[in-house]
Amino acid sequence: MNNLEKYKTVFCESFSINESDLEGDLEYNSIEAWDSVGHMGMIADLEDKFDVMLDTDDIIDFSSYKTGIKILKKYDIEVEL
Amino acid sequence: MKSQVLSFDTTGIMSCQQNRYPMLFVDRITECIPLKYAKGYKLFSYNEWFFHGYETTSPKVWNVIQIEAMSQVFLMTFLSSDDCRGYFAASNKFNKVQFFRKIEPGDKLDIEASLESFRHGIARGQVKGYVKGKIACSMECTIVVPEIFGKFQHSLPLKGVDKTSYYNSESVINNFKQIETQKDELVFGIEKIRECLLNKYPWLFLDQVIDIMPGKFVRVIKNFTYNEHFFPSHFPENPNVPGFIQIECCMQAFLLTFLSLDEYKRSETADRLLMNVQVKRKIVPGDTLEMFATLDRFSRGVAKGRVESYVNGEQAVSFEVTAVIVDVLDQFKPKTNN
Residue A34 is part of a domain; what is its CATH number? 1.10.1200.10
**A·B CB contacts under 8 A:** 52
Check residues B58 and B10 and name the one with the higher pLDDT: B10
d(CA B101, CA B136): 5
| Residue A28 maps to a domain | yes
User: Residues of A with CB below 8 A from B330's CB?
Assistant: 36
- Comparing alpha-carbon positions, the chain B residue that sits nearest to A33 is B100
Domain holding A8, by residue range, is: 3-74
Q: Does A23 fall in a domain?
A: yes
End-to-end CA distance of chain B: 50
Choose, out of A26, A27, A37, A71, the residue to mutate when testing the contact with B (most B CBs < 10 Å). A37
- Please indicate whether, in this complex, the C-beta atoms of B336 and A63 are within 8 angstroms of each other: yes
Residue A80 lies in a domain: no
Q: A79 lies in a domain? A: no
DSSP strands (E only) in A1-81: none
- For B34-84, the pLDDT digits (tens) are 999 999 999 999 999 999 999 988 899 999 999 999 999 999 999 999 999
In 3D space, the residue among A38, A48, A51 whose CA is nearest the CA of residue A12 turns out to be A38
Q: Which of A16, A40, A64, A66 should be substituted to probe chain B, the one whose Cβ sees the most B Cβ atoms within 10 Å?
A: A40
| pLDDT of B186 strictly over 80 | no
Give how many domains chain A has, as a whole number.
Answer: 1
Of A29, A32, A40, which is closest to B332 when you measure between CB atoms? A40
pTM: 0.85
Long-range (24+ apart) CB contacts under 8 A made by B190-193 are B193/B220, B193/B256
Whether B223 and B249 have beta carbons less than 8 Å apart is answered as: no
Instruction: Among A35-49, B218-232, B239-253, B261-275, name the one with the lowest average pLDDT.
Output: A35-49
Q: Is A36 in Cβ contact with B100 (below 8 Å)? A: no
CA-based nearest distance B129→chain A, Å: 14
In-domain check, residue A14: yes
Say if A81 falls within a structural domain.
no
- Residues of B labelled catalytic: 234
Q: Which residues of B touch A61 (CB under 8 A)?
A: 334-335
Per-residue confidence band for B103, with pLDDT thresholds at 50, 70 and 90 = very high
B251 three-state secondary structure: helix
How many Å separate Cα B283 from the centre of its chain? 14
Q: What is the DSSP string of B286-305?
A: T-EEEEEEEEEEEETTEEEE
* Exposure string for B224-262, b = 16+ CB within 10 A, e = fewer: beeebebbebbeeeebbbbbbbbbbbbbbbbbbbbbbee
> Lowest mean pLDDT: which of A50-54, B178-182, B243-247, B296-300?
B178-182
The top-scoring range by mean pLDDT among B51-55, B178-182, B307-311 is B307-311
| In a domain? residue A12 | yes
Q: Give this complex's ipTM.
A: 0.71
> Is the Cα torsion angle B8, B9, B12, B14 positive or negative in sign?
positive
For residue A66, tell me if it sits in a domain.
yes
Q: Which of B180, B170, B250 is nearest to B215 (CA)?
A: B180
